[in-house]
Chains A and B, each alone.
Chain A
Amino acid sequence: MSGLRKLGRAPAAAIALLVVALGAVPSAPAQAIPYQRPVDTAPQQDAIGGGYKTPDVQRQLPRDYWLQVLDVAALGAAMGISVWLVLKRRSRKWLVALTIGSLAYFGFYREGCICPIGSLQNVVVAIADPRYSIPMVVTATFVLPLVVALFFGRAFCGGVCALGAIQELVVLRPIQVPRRLDRALGLLKYVYLGLAILFAVRPALARDFLICRFDPFVGFFRRTGAPHMLLLGGAFLVLGMFVGRPYCRYLCPYGALLAWCTRLARSGVTVTPDKELDCGLCAEACPYGAIERMRAVRRNCLYCARCYSACPRDGELAHAKAGLVRLSGGAPS
């Protein structure tokens, strides 16, 4: 019975997988002109003479495949570094450095594409539509953060995800969102997840990747975008100064999947209550509502390591294995 509680309440409306895509809607006919034309009537280079050579048409290649593999490797490496920095070194300073680095690489250099959040749509379509398939790098991008979450929690969210990074860096004076409100808003994630899946598995012409379309920050990453989307992104960032990482906590559909996996994680941030101290500074420091009643709520923990820097017994300088906030397992969430 206690094990069932571990799974939590899985919102039924969220999953609409295994909807088999129907054939594409027939579109405008390509050409209906039924006559024949002479082919190849253009003058060739010997007819033009004078030493003329027909120039080649430029055919630029898209990004090399091995670079995309490199991106996946970078994703994995960044998550590994995040886990180590937060759970081992417990260094907020270095985590911020990683956050900036990820924002620079995955955000502004790669312009936010491809990201695990969007990849969930592609994966869903690839499962549902027999004619649609995705390259291996996309599958890897989807699976890797989930596997890490199964063991260590939302390491992806801490310092690797570009959308998370940009929000992380604008957190100024975060308020503590009341628990009930936090729970209620958290359900929006599942609604978004359900909608994203529903729209993604539509037949090819009607298919709409909502997550990509309504990504508030991609306009910043690309340095160009529709004015209303840039405004929305700006609004999220302004909001993010006072409510910690609103997209990550209440909207991110991939975050919903990561939260589920984190429930089964072996390691993660844990708060051990102490009869004497229980100062609660970690709970105050956490902007994401991941510490409730002196317990870590791992599925909400976005790996920011603020709790470590706030803890008077186990600050950045201590690196001690013992301490109030330390590595352990088994605390109920």
Chain B
Amino acid sequence: MQYRHVQVIDGKGALRGIAVDAQARGELYAAGDSEIKVFDAAGKLARRWPTARPAQSVAVAGDGAVYAGELGQIEIFDGAGKLRDTWRDDELLRRVTAIGFTGDSVLAGDSADRAIRRFDRGGRFLNNIGKDNPLGGLLIPNGVVDFGVDAEGIVFAANPGKHRVERYAPGGELLGHIGRFHGIDPAGFTGCCNPTNVAIRDAIYTAEKAGPRAKAYDFSGKLLAVIATDLFDANCKNMSIAVDARGRVYVVDTVKQSVFVFERVNA
């Protein structure tokens, strides 16, 4: 499988977490310094609005609501940027670096506690994911918890310290994992902690640092493609990755503060 680089979206400032919209309009939502930015399909900045606290991540729910993960809270906006709700919890939401949805729940990755929190739609805490292991959480030396959710609601969490992507049931039970450390084989994850970011659509898409690259795996763990390596600045770290319904892959270059867009080439 091959990918080609089709577009660069200038981030217009800082870029952290990105997310694609749920309606497949080709929009890209990005968390900036203390704002949410929305880029249209052509890559131009369509709208932006401020957040109360520095935004770390963003996700778009099926109904178009935009969830912004911040320091100590999650803010929920409508598609136009009007604030609908704020979930504040200094214990459970210390640093929300990823947000996802499974079934009726909202998932928030807290990098301060190295775990994924599950809340119901009203904001009530249900359970932790990834905390029930000898290390007391995911191994996150790089400082960012990232995960994706597949169509069945299984949570695929990146566990970079163990060089693998782990599959969890929404209740927190570990179901399995794919990936292993390897310093030479491109199918492995290299360095001290990779993959840093993961996105799920029809395959498992991972982003790695230090020898930065984006890859795609199938659900059994077989490497499908190395999407890109040399395009990214060598100093990138914690590159947020997102995949839209058309199979376009978006990866943040944290040094150049832009989003690289890749399309699959039908081989």
Contact = CB atoms under 8 A, between A and B. Distances in A.
Classify A-B as touching or not with yes or no (CB < 8 A): yes
Interface of A: 33-38, 41-43, 47, 49
A33 B136 CA distance: 34
Interface of B: 14, 95, 111, 114, 136-137, 140-144, 235, 237-238, 254-255, 257
B144 A35 contact: no
A39 to B, nearest CB: 8
Contacts of B235: 33, 35
Given A35-B235, A38-B143, A47-B114, 5 more contacts: A33-B235, A33-B255, A35-B255, A41-B111, A41-B143
Contacts of B111: 38, 41
A49 B254 contact: no
Contact of B140 (A33, A34, A41): A41
Contacts of B257: 35
Interface SS of chain B: helix, strand, loop or mixed?
A: loop
B255 A41 contact: no
A35 B137 CA distance: 27
Given A33-B235, A35-B255, A47 B136 contact: yes
Nearest to A39: B143
Nearest to B15: A35
Contact of B141 (A34, A35, A36, A41): A41
Contacts of A38: 95, 111, 142-144, 238
28 contacts: A33-B235, A33-B255, A34-B255, A35-B14, A35-B235, A35-B254, A35-B255, A35-B257, A36-B14, A37-B143, A37-B237, A38-B95, A38-B111, A38-B142, A38-B143, A38-B144, A38-B238, A41-B111, A41-B140, A41-B141, A41-B142, A41-B143, A42-B141, A43-B141, A47-B114, A47-B136, A47-B137, A49-B136
Nearest to B95: A38
A35 B240 CA distance: 14
A47 B114 CA distance: 10
